[in-house]
Structure 1
């Protein structure tokens, strides 16, 4: 068995770099660690942290193929973020004109959660601590 320490990062390929950069920084509150333009790949790579922890690599590539999505496509199902108050954070998302599903309660943990998407339709979740 491997001895894994933690998830190092999550890589996301976006279709509109500036739109996604604004979403992850201005709406979700990630901080920019480093922004790199790779001329040979015609690609941006944006390293983002959350509360000081390196977490997301946001990429652009020319003409990436679309990802099959809903319902329940094979692959990464969603990316979840822990929050203290799901209702309050869902309201903040709505204030940024981000559509948010109705808040539900996990039948197993009894914790509140809800889903929304990033600008490219990547399913994201906020889950109560």
Structure 2
């Protein structure tokens, strides 16, 4: 059922119909095969069963990522530090992810978002930002897990405490 929204000035419009899920996103890459290897070997993406002449793709956590080669009309354009794609990981997988990335000499950054979550940021070969994040059920759990990893000072700073 669609509801009606009232906008500034009193105009009324029905709300948008629902969206079911993110089906795919696309990346322009300087080297399609290198990028595919990064997403499969480093991030654990799977190769989807796709028919036809579509782009090279991977399936990362149920979302397809299509890779398009750079050319005269399009070049890789990774975003600023605030632009990224975030994937939720389980708390018990956080430390194994850190070790996995270290073991492959992949640069990454561990950080927090206050006491509500902690994240690992990694860039793909063209500089696109990926976040692996653990949301916490409450700040007590967050404080405990963040403190175990030596990130409490950063969490407090981000909270403005």
TM over 0.5: yes
Instruction: Select 2:113's aligned residue among 103, 106, 113.
Output: 106
Relative to the length of structure 2, the TM-score reads: 0.62
Q: How many corresponding residue pairs?
A: 117
Equivalences for 1:74-85 in 2 at 5 Å?
77-84=83-90, 85=93
Does 1:56 find its partner at 2:71? Answer: no
Q: CA RMSD in A?
A: 2.5
After superposing on structure 2, the runs of 4+ consecutive aligned residues of structure 1 that deviate more than 6 Å are none
In our comparison, the structure showing a higher alpha carbon Rg is 2
Work out the CA distance in 2 between the residues paired with 1:56 and 1:114.
Answer: 20
**TM-score between both structures, scaled by the size of structure 1:** 0.75
Hey, what's the Cα distance between the residues in 2 that align with 1:19 and 1:35? 20
Answer yes or no: is 1:33 the counterpart of 2:43: no
| Other structure's SS at 1:32 match | coil
Is 1:67 aligned with 2:73?
no
Q: Which has the higher contact order (CA 8 A, sep 6+)?
A: 1
Q: Determine which structure has the larger strand proportion and give its number.
A: 1
